[in-house]
A and B are shown apart, each in its own frame.
Chain A
Amino acid sequence: MTRISIIAAALVVGAGAALGLAGSAAAQPKKIVIGVQCDRTGATQIVGTVLCPAMHDYFNYVNANQPLAGYTIDAPEIDTSYKVPPAVEAYQRQKQEGAVIMAVYGTPQTHALNERLEKDQMPTTTPGFGIAASADGGKYPYLFPIAASYFSEGAAAVKFAKDQLGGSLKGKKIAYIYIDNPAGKEPLPLIQDLQKSEGFELRTFAVPLPGVELGAQVLDITQRYHPDFVISHLFGRSPSILIKSLKQNGYPLSKAVGLVWASAEADIKAAGGWQVAEGYHTMQFAGAGDDYPIRQAIKAMYAKEGKTVPATMDDTVIYNRGLFEAAIQVEALRNALKLTHGDPPTGTDVKKGMEEIHDFTLGGLVPPLQITPTDHEGGGYVRIFKVHDGKLVPETGWFNAYRDLVWQQVKAAEKTE
């Protein structure tokens, strides 16, 4: 009996594998493959479970409504659980499937794949994480951070604090609270540079991973240091805990800004809801909120197919970042197809297409990026939103700050890399 069941199981598995092979062999000839790596499981799953569906929604929307000239987009996805070896496997797999552009997820994964990307000429987007120095397209030709790097975010946060505190930081006190890992420490040298030039007082508060216990740091900030402004660079569960504890200790949240990964709706809800977080500032590299034509179009697409709009769309911050990344990739493909006059583009073509993205705003969701062969960050634009009345309201327009200092840091980081 057991032997029969083993044989049966083997046959079923074999048949399934055969089906899978047959399926991939019989696919349509005219398709462009985008390799998507995802983290729907693992340490950063709050991002992946929303970001990746958003990317697929956008690709489906493009295929249905604004198709690329003569091609359909095929975006196979592989989950890496934020681990490095699966990312290497996923990369090889998707390269074999013919991908010409990739979306990697995670800083260590980007580091581990960087050399292969360059060798295989595989343009890859890494918005909001990855190698900080990859803003320099001359040194990292196939990495496209497209969103503001941590350097740019740090600079923008200081600029925002300066504007909020009346145009000068002289003699003011700023607290920088961060997760104690490489990503958390990254903006620090830039903020220290600014401390000298702007003349403010700076104290840093490290939060050890996993960052669920920051009572001591918050007490230090609110009861002893009394800063004029708090810049927080936290991930995962810790942003919500910071918001909650600042509130409990009576610190005005309107004097706090969270960098991009401390800024999602989920953080606000986990902090105790919109009421608690009222006034808190969030930094975004893609527009937050629901008022964008592309979001309405995707909702209409779901309605047309007779499906309910998935709940992932309610997490507008992360969902819109997925739209942002997908839209930039599709735009690069469009530019590449123009260059090749309709021939299947190679990785190099897509890289060139990427470097021609200027002022593609997608109805305000995407910042006015100017991606060039030397600037793969596109200018490092961010926008500050404020928690107000149960939603995120824009507080500033798209802006960037202290570009010369940011590029100094990029060049310095290149040397140590």
Chain B
Amino acid sequence: MFHREAGVFKTSYGADMALYPLPIAKWGVAAFAGLFIAVAPLTFGEYYLSLLNLCLVAIIGALGLNILLGYTGQISIGQGAFMSVGAYTAANLIVRLGLPFWITIPAGGLMAALVGTLVGIPSLRIKGIYLAIATLAAQLIIEWTINHVTWISGGMQSSIEIPRPSLFGIRLTTEAKIYVFLMFFVVLAIVATLNLLRSRIGRAFIAIRDQDIAAEIIGINIFRYKLYAFAISSFYAGVAGALESYYLGIANYEQFQLDVSIDYLAMVIIGGLGSVLGSIFGAVFVTLLPIATRWGLQSFGHLFVSQADLDNLIPSLRLVIFGGLIIFFLIVEPDGLARLWRNIRNYFRVWPFSY
């Protein structure tokens, strides 16, 4: 049962490159996947599924940003705008051409990738905080464009209603059905990211992040791979935006404003830069922490103050606690929640014979 390794005995490249070298990890992941893919939609209540659905959309967006920021080292404050590109592309294709979701969602991703590539062009010449400002400009330009070009936004209110996707004649109307739908894309995104990162492209990304001059010297075409990173990252964002629109039944540009980009940045940094697991942790953490703190405050608050004061206090206190916890976790482990998890795992890996 507690089968652990006692040294490195790998005899093939395949074993060395395996995503989960230990059987316990493989079975653990399988059990976890089973719980969330099969058990959750059947047993969880509607409310809890809606929480998970919000997390699932965030996970895809965070994965995309992590490829760019965590693996390639290119900062972007335009995630929200790339999501809106995906959302409006999908929405227009559905409403005008009546295309099914399995065309509109990839199409949304591709359009976002195209826009992302354009936005990525300055990354050849500028780095770090300068690039952040360039992507911020992209965020504002895209917001403005969607707001003003009614051909894209579908009218004065800049919102397009989207019918629910249907699959094999079943309209995905309940939270559970949508959950399975979203989960399919999340699994796809996770597996794709894990494999991307051990491919030639992924290794090039990491080389560029660690030292771009060295990477260029060993023959990596920096410009091309930086644009790849922007394209892939924006593709994820576009898919996440399209999925969010499908989930909410509407594409609305106010869903994808600057604060959303900042939220995604927070997810990736808190979760752990350069870690797939970290993106998942970060997305879940940022989505659920405000809700968890509210629950906590509502449960305890009555002991201390009246209901009217509590209503007044919770929203502000929640922000304070949210901010405080982010600082706390970053002080405890600057490399994010993923690193925290790895430390815990490593501790128990040799437990109780750690000497």
Bound Cα distance A120, B342 (Å):
43
Bound Cα distance A79, B313 (Å):
11
Q: Is B308 in contact with A53, judged by CB distance below 8 angstroms? A: yes
Q: Does B250 contact A (CB under 8 A)?
A: yes
A85-B287, A86-B290, A92-B50 given; A41·B147 CB < 8 A: no
Interface residues on B, range: 35 or more
Q: Is A413 in contact with B156, judged by CB distance below 8 angstroms? A: yes
A85-B54, A92-B46 given; A111·B299 CB < 8 A: no
Bound Cα distance A36, B46 (Å):
20
A41-B319, A78-B294 given; A19·B299 CB < 8 A: yes
Q: B155-185 interface mask toward A, CB cutoff 8 Å, 1 = contact, 0 = none?
A: 1111101001000000001010000000000
CB contact list, A97-156 vs B, under 8 A: 107-108, 111-112, 114-116, 119, 131-132
Q: Does A189 contact B (CB under 8 A)?
A: yes
Q: Is B311 in contact with A413, judged by CB distance below 8 angstroms? A: no
Q: Does A408 contact B (CB under 8 A)?
A: no
Q: B236-263 interface mask toward A, CB cutoff 8 Å, 1 = contact, 0 = none?
A: 0000000000001110111100010000
Which of A16, A20, A112, A185: most chain B CB closer than 10 A?
A112
Q: B140-153 interface mask toward A, CB cutoff 8 Å, 1 = contact, 0 = none?
A: 00000001000000
Q: Does B9 contact A (CB under 8 A)?
A: no
Q: Is B315 in contact with A96, judged by CB distance below 8 angstroms? A: no
Bound Cα distance A49, B311 (Å):
10
- Within 8 Å by CB of A83, from B45, B164, B259, lies B259
Q: Does B195 contact A (CB under 8 A)?
A: no
Q: Does A182 contact B (CB under 8 A)?
A: yes
- Tell me the smallest distance from the CB of A349 to a CB of chain B, in Å: 22
Q: Does B318 contact A (CB under 8 A)?
A: yes
Interface residues of B, dominant DSSP: helix
Which of A92, A107, A116, A131: most chain B CB closer than 10 A?
A92
A40-B316, A83-B259 given; A112·B248 CB < 8 A: yes
B260's nearest neighbour on chain A, judged by CB, is A83
Q: Is A38 in contact with B47, judged by CB distance below 8 angstroms? A: no
CB-defined contacts of A131 to chain B, threshold 8 Å? 157
- Within 8 Å by CB of A20, from B155, B291, B298, lies B298
Q: Does A186 contact B (CB under 8 A)?
A: yes
A114-B249, A115-B250 given; A416·B156 CB < 8 A: yes
Q: Is A417 in contact with B314, judged by CB distance below 8 angstroms? A: no
Q: Is B315 in contact with A38, judged by CB distance below 8 angstroms? A: yes
CB-defined contacts of A180 to chain B, threshold 8 Å? 147
Q: Does B154 contact A (CB under 8 A)?
A: yes
Q: A68-94 interface mask toward B, CB cutoff 8 Å, 1 = contact, 0 = none?
A: 000000000111010111101100110
Q: Is A88 in contact with B248, judged by CB distance below 8 angstroms? A: yes
Bound Cα distance A20, B298 (Å):
7
Other than the known A85-B58, A108-B159, what 10 A-B pairs have Cβ atoms closer than 8 Å? Answer: A16-B299, A38-B311, A40-B316, A41-B316, A84-B254, A92-B47, A92-B50, A182-B147, A186-B157, A416-B156
Q: List 21 A-B contacts (CB under 8 A).
A: A17-B299, A20-B299, A23-B302, A52-B311, A84-B248, A84-B255, A86-B291, A95-B47, A108-B254, A111-B250, A112-B249, A112-B250, A114-B250, A115-B250, A132-B157, A182-B158, A182-B159, A182-B253, A182-B254, A413-B157, A417-B155
